[in-house]
Structure formats: structure tokens, C-alpha cells
Structure 1
Amino acid sequence: MRYLALFFIFTTSIEGIRRKYADCFSHTTRKTLDNYEPIAAFELVSLQTCMLQCIEAPLNFENKECFSFTYDRIKHNCKIYDHDGKKVPAILLPAMNFDFYKKIHVGEACAPPKPQIIYTEPDAEPDPTTNFAEHKNFHNIEEELLKATKELLNRRASKTAKKKDSEQIENPKMMPIMPGKCETTNGYYVVIGNEILLPSGFDKNAMREFPGIEQGDCASICSKEESPEGEKLKCNSLNYFPITRKCQILAVLAEPHGEGELVENEDSIYAEKFCLPKHPNECQEAEVFILHIEKRIKGTPMKEKLSQSITQCLEACLNEDGCATSVFDSARGRCLLHTQQVGRDLGITENTSGFVLIENGCYVKGKRKTEKVESPRDPNEWSPWSDCQFKLNGKAIRSRTRDCEDCEDFQYEECQ
């Protein structure tokens, strides 16, 4: 009966934690945060424990305050962050089995609990038969345990901070270049099967829609920031719908760099414009870099470098001869460079949480200056068909491209 009572008290306490702090956070399903180092990560913990770790972060991690956390419902893993998901270079991505929690209240009700010290005057003289040494030892053990726990957390936080500082000295964070004058060329991060939505209450003029547009022309409209009729536009991202050939030009970026919401839509292709980092090789204007969320290449990389963002990882690949694909490992702050091309064999990849695979569009199109080109490529010559790795409207498709500015440069068809 005693153990049953203890169990009841424990479970009631955990449920109390959940109820007490549940109103402190907003909850978004099937979303995860990537491309940013967490304050701390915990494995095999409950949602309630994860919530409590976020609330108590200032006590455990040298006054670092937690404003959001992600929770893996399958593996029961938790990551807590010192921002609300909108801090550059972090990105919010759709992900199965993940939930994103953002702190929405910071008042006393959502603050870490304060230690309570209760002092009472003795009612009578102490009993001479009482073993005070035993009681003293008990309290010392409790105190030492608490002290040791805090020292362990402080050492862990200190070690993480030192590692982060040393990595920043060798390889400083590369922040995404926000819309403005681009000194190199514009590129596009592409996520197939996703669509950006305007936030509620946003100016409807922030999105313009053009029917009957080819995919290459849609990207060209965004790059030139000019409609087919010559009207000036503001473009930071786009949605393209291959089946209906509809092009949507948006002035906003997806979270966390903007206010747009990125959602899953198998009929859509989302592309976000960015300024290519400087590199010695050649990329065409409006080059495409396909992102594969939570994927990596199975084989051993040809090189491994420190990296703090997707853009920095891409830059490492662009500057490395023979690099066709780069894989960003956000948890360890590293970039894996590979010679394999994913478009030729999707079987070389595997699903791995915390990884983002980036296809080097410049390499795929054979535009590297370091390679000797015997004869110029015919602008009307199509590339080989890709594997049937994408789906539109539930059906597998394959695609091909060609380098042609004044004609159709993208085609797709259903796989038989």
C-alpha cells in the first residue's frame, strides 16, 4: 500500500506539472526546428519532463532562458532552444512525429519554481535519545547530491559553450543573405511537396498568382521581380504547381526568416530565393538546390567540415572540386561532402533525424569551371530523366531540364 501511495503521488505530481505549464506554450504538430544548436538535448524523456526542462533552463544552464522546444513522439527525444523559432539561421520544417512548442507566456506562472525554505521554532527541548548525526548525514547527502547535479550541468554547459566558441573562431556562422542587392547570383532552395501560406491578416498583395506559367519562367519572374506584363513585383519565395502550371510569387519568407507558414502539399513545389555565397565555380542564374529534409547519404563522405548552417554547408560543397551533394548535420555542427548525385540513385540515402541533404545544382548541370569542356552543350539538349523520386497528386513522376533561357527548360512525366 505504501508503494502504491508513492506511485500515486508521483504520477499526480507529473500530471500536475503538465497541467501547470501546458498554458505556457503554444503547440504545433508535425513541425521541427533545425539549423540551430539547442541549449540542451534529452533522450528518452516524457513530454512533461521536456516541458519542465524548458521552464527550468535558467536554473540549470547558466541563466539561459528557453523559449521553445521540439519533441519527438516516437523516440521520446527533446531539444530546448533559447529563441522562439525565428532566430536566424534556424528553420522550421514539416516533419512526421515531431511537435513544436513555443512559449507564449513569461509571467510568474511560467517561471521556474522558487526553492522554499521553511523554518519553525522548536516546541520543546531536543530528545537526548535522537541520533542527530544520522539526521545530519542525511541532509548532507541530499545537499551533496544537489551540488553534484548542478556542477555536472554547469560543466556540460561550459563544455558546450567552449566547443561552440572554438567552432565559431574556425568557421563563423554564415547568416542567410536577406533580400536586397545580390553581388553574385540568385539561387533557390527547393522543397518538393511543400507550400508557403500567407499569415492571417497579411496584405493580399504580398502574393501574386500567374496561371499557365512554366516552372523555369516562374523562377525567372521571381529573380527579375517583374511580371510577364512588365509590372514590378517583390519576390522572396514562390509556390509552383506543376499539374496546373500555376505560379505564385510571394513577398514573404517562410518561418523562421519570415512570417509565412510552410505546410505539406504534394501538388506543390516551394522555392525560397537566396543569394549564392561567393565561390570559384560557375552557377547559372536562378540555380536550383533541392533540399531533402531528414535525409543523409549512406556512404562515407569524401570530406567533413565544420558548419553552422545549410548555406555554409552548401558553400563548402561549391568550393570543393568533385562535390555533388552536401549533408548538413545540425546536431554536431558539421557538413559532409559527397561525390554521389542523389538524382541518379535515391537508394543511396537514408532517413536520419537532424540532417538536411542539399543537392548541388551547379555540379549536376555540369557548370564547374575546373572541368574541361570539349564542346559547348546544345541549348536544346535535355538532361537524362531523373529517377522516379518525387510524387505529385499521389503519383510518382520523373523530371529533366536543359539550359535554355528562351524556351521550356523543365519537363516532367508520370512514371510507368
Structure 2
Amino acid sequence: MADQQEAAPGRGGQRLSTRETAERLGVKPETVYAYVSRGQLTSRRTPGSRGSTFDAKEVEALARRVGRRESATPGSELAIRTGITLIDRDHCYFRGVDTSQLAAHYSYEEVAEWLWTGELRPGMRFTAPRDALSATQRAVEALPAHSGPMDRLRVGVIAAAAADPLRFDLSEDTVVDIARSLIPTLVDALPPHAPKSPADDALAARLWSRLTAEPATPEALRALDAALVLLIDHDLAASTLAVRVAASARAHPYAIVSAGFGALDGVLHGAASGLAHRMLAEVLDRGSAAAVVTDHLRAGRGVPGLGHPLYPGDDPRARTLFRLLEDVPRAHLALQAAREVITTTARHTELHANVDLALAVLTASTGMPTEAGETIFAIARTAGWIAHALEEYSESPLRLRPSGQYHGPRPPQRLP
């Protein structure tokens, strides 16, 4: 079998087979490919072999990172106590409530308010203050025409901060008030693609008009709103850790959101759905998932939208979003393309769809641009970042200050 091959030396040093890599990491072979799909490992096919090989040094580095996560204990610098999100047995929970159930019954604004305050307020709507929105719109409009949505969001949060003289008040009530106004300000400052229906002032409807000119059906809006709920938080992802560090230093809420945007701005995090969007568009254009998957694997890349290190089985967020997208007629072709990608890849190894693939089905089927998934992700996650900041503000300041392990030349050294 391919995974039973011997380790192959190459120009990059010793290379390990999939089986050897899985043994070194202490995981199943399918998890190795999940690491590849998330950009944490790079695979390469050796001439004359049917299996993938992995650079031994890269595997060792990943093993050390995984080992540190597993050895972390409460109170250490790698374990941060939180009461927001629990990921357990292929389920994701916000404050102990299944996120799929939350997405099925409540809007994004209702769930965000509940996470911040503990109170569920039916019909909750967020409104952008006139002064903050005006300042943010002027800043966004001053950007070059080729600027993308994330450029606008990053500039928008800075402009909104400058317009708020109370931004340094870190009391819980003020922070929550800032959150209620910042999120709609960021959405409403994005240039519209189509007029919003005056009868629908929900955040999902306003965001829809900023992402596509196609009319929104109730089923499509429901899927977008559910995506916003499902993406609010996901434990200590890279952007959330950045937010906690900033909040530990007592940065104000606008600054912690800026820290989150900075960490989010990468193909391995917030922009991952864009890769899946492009892949689905190519599958639809070429009419063959097999050809597209083959091209990705031949180039040594993982297949976008498949596998997640925290879920050995289905990503529950993808499962929920796929169900909702089945009720959206225009999404049927993209859904079929996504399923063909999953089926094709399953011939080699069992990898399950993650939320990036489901989000790509939504964006690719509704006339949204490639970067729309990242915009949805960023707006959704802002609510989770505020929840984490509220938690961190109640902890001792500057507690997230790890010590570096120096590996440079030992002093004294000569003056250069």
C-alpha cells in the first residue's frame, strides 16, 4: 500500500511516509492529511511512488507544537481558561449550548447579545451610530478603488475608534455598547452592491447587500445568518489568541478587534474559504471534481475545505450549513460540486468537509466574490472576540506574557 512505503530521502532532507508521519505525530493517517489541508504540513509525491511523503524536520516541528498543546495544563501559559466555547466529540458548544441549535433558532444579533450579557433578547437589532458611521464611511471611501473588503474593515475599525471618545472605558456595559455599535458600523460602511430592503434591518440582510447584487431569498438569508452564528467563535483560534493577548494588555475593544483582523488576514485562517470558493468555481467550470482534485494533489497542495485538526469526523458547522443550503435552489450545483470533491478525495483518504467548504458553497452560488467568505468570517468572529475580551478584562493584566527560549549565540560576543 502507498502508506507502507519506506521513508524517501530527497533534496529537502529525509522524508517520511504517511504511516511514519502519523506514528510520529500520534494520530491517524487521515489526520495527517487534515494537517496538510490546513497548511500545517507540506506533502510531496516521490517519483515512482503512489504515496505522499513529508519532510522529517517539518514533521518534528509539528510534533513539538502538538506535544506542547497536549502537555499544557490549566494555569500554564498555553492553557487559557474560558467559558465561551467547548469543542467535544464532533460538536461545538457556546456556553454549553450546541451551536447548530443556536443557529437554527436565533439570529446572529440575538446570539451575540446572549454571549456578551447572558440575556437572550428576541428581535435584537444592532444600529450604527450616525457619527461613527459617517467617520468610518469617509475613511473607507478614501481607500484606493482596488481595496478589498478586509482593507475596508481594518481601516473602518480604526476610524470608528477615533470617533469614540469613550473607547478607553473598559467597564462591561461600555464594552458591550461598543460591540453593539461597532459591528453594524463595519457592515454599513462597506460599499453596497444592491439596495437593502427597507423592511429588513437584520444584520444578515444588510451584509447580504454588501456582498452581492443578487436578490436575497428568505432561505439564502437564513443560511447567511446561520453562517454568522456558527462562525462567532471556535475556541482559541489564532485570531482569538491575538485578541486575548491584546485584552490582557488592556487594549480597548476597537484595538482588540484590530488585533483579530491582523491574525485573521492569512490563507490559513480567515481567507481559507476563498481557496475553496476558487476550487468550486473551477469544478463547475471544468465539469470535473476529479481533474481539479488531481491538480491540487499533483502540485503538493491539500484540497481546500477538507479536514480539521479539531474534528476527526464531520465539522458540525459544515454539516449544519450544508443542510440549510439544500433549501437554496441556486446552491444546488455548488453543493453537488462540493460533494464530488469530498467523494473524489475519499478514494485516497477519509477527509470530511470543514466550514470553509460550506461557506464557499454559499458564496460561489450567490454571486458573491471570492473574498466574501473572509468578510463573513471577520464580521461573525468580531462578536466572539468581544466575548473573549470581556473575559480577559476580568483576569490579571499582562498575564499572557510567555518567556522566550533563547537559542542565539551565548554572550559575551564581540561588538559587530
User: Which bin holds the TM-score, normalised by the shorter protein?
Assistant: under 0.3
Which protein is richer in helix relative to its size?
2
Which protein is richer in strand relative to its size?
1
Higher RCO structure (Cα 8 Å, ≥6 apart): 2
TM-score (norm 1): 0.24
Greater gyration radius: 1
